Amino acid sequence: MSSCGTGCGCGSNTSNTPTRPLITKNKVNKDLQDYWETIYNVIDHEKSGWYEKNPEPTIQLIEKSNISKDDHIFVAGAGTSTLIDYLLDNDYTHITVSDISSTALEILKERLQNRSTTINWIVDDLTHPEKLQQIPPVDLWVDRAVFHFFTEIDDQQTYIDLLNKLVKKDGIVIIATFNLKGATKCSGLPVRRYNELMLKEKLSPIFELQESFETLYTMPSGDTRPYLYTLFKKL
């Protein structure tokens, strides 16, 4: 299997991997968006270092969350995740799916075909949210492998402010990141790795940690990545 050389196992050739975006304060949104659009245009998404045929750890936590079928579920940075297929297969009816990459969401829509029409699709940047500010209150927020890309404190705070604003009281937040044994980069971008305490500190005092576990994810390439999964409740 070819590799992008970043250690993330995304499956892309080094020559095809876009150069890391130049982050300037006033241009981060567009640069970051172009970066992810290129990723989804050059790699086979099913061979990416994060693609799961079966998002079992997230499903495990959703099943414990006791949310109702018509509760509002928000999937942050969904990419082409099969979690959305699971939600539809299991009759969840109020789903908002967002990503910074419209290409990722188009791939996902194409896979879901006519079932995609029941979903609210939003292309927006979690670190510069505009359209996301307008969505209805959320009962369940799911993020796998997105928050850990926000290495700047400002970006983390913007994300947490949005989380605080959108998630209802008693609402549930599932966040999965690389854990402290995980890779330091993914898709050519640096990531911030977490343990349970570090995430707890980020989300407290508004959210209370209910459950967490570490698990080894096997990438399509066969390599493994250690993840931390957490479930928080809004107080």
Number of residues counted as binding ligand SAM (CB under 6 A): 19
**Interaction between residue 220 and ligand SAM (CB under 6 A):** no
Do the Cβ atoms of 135 and 96 come closer than 8 Å?
A: yes
146 vs 203, which CB is nearer to ligand SAM? 146
Do the Cβ atoms of 186 and 178 come closer than 8 Å?
A: yes
Instruction: Give the integer Cα–Cα distance in Å for 20 and 2.
Output: 19
**Interaction between residue 194 and ligand SAM (CB under 6 A):** no
**x-or-dash string of contact with ligand SAM, 27-46, rule CB under 6 A:** -----x---x----------
Quote the least distance from Cβ 52 to ligand SAM, whole Å: 6
186 vs 228, which CB is nearer to ligand SAM? 186
Quote the least distance from Cβ 32 to ligand SAM, whole Å: 6
Quote the least distance from Cβ 179 to ligand SAM, whole Å: 15
**Interaction between residue 149 and ligand SAM (CB under 6 A):** yes
Quote the least distance from Cβ 170 to ligand SAM, whole Å: 24
**Interaction between residue 191 and ligand SAM (CB under 6 A):** no
Quote the least distance from Cβ 127 to ligand SAM, whole Å: 5
Instruction: Give the integer Cα–Cα distance in Å for 74 and 54.
Output: 19
Instruction: Give the integer Cα–Cα distance in Å for 218 and 37.
Output: 24
**Interaction between residue 50 and ligand SAM (CB under 6 A):** yes
Quote the least distance from Cβ 41 to ligand SAM, whole Å: 12
Sign of CA dihedral 70, 71, 74, 75: negative
Quote the least distance from Cβ 151 to ligand SAM, whole Å: 11
Print burial letters for 165-185: b (CB count within 10 Å at least 16), e (below 16).
Answer: ebbeeebbbbbbbbbeebbeb
**Interaction between residue 146 and ligand SAM (CB under 6 A):** yes
Q: Which of residues 58-117 bind ligand SAM (CB under 6 A)?
A: 77-79, 81, 99-101, 104
77 vs 188, which CB is nearer to ligand SAM? 77
Give residues in contact with ligand SAM (CB under 6 A). 32, 36, 50, 77-79, 81, 99-101, 104, 125-127, 144-146, 149, 186
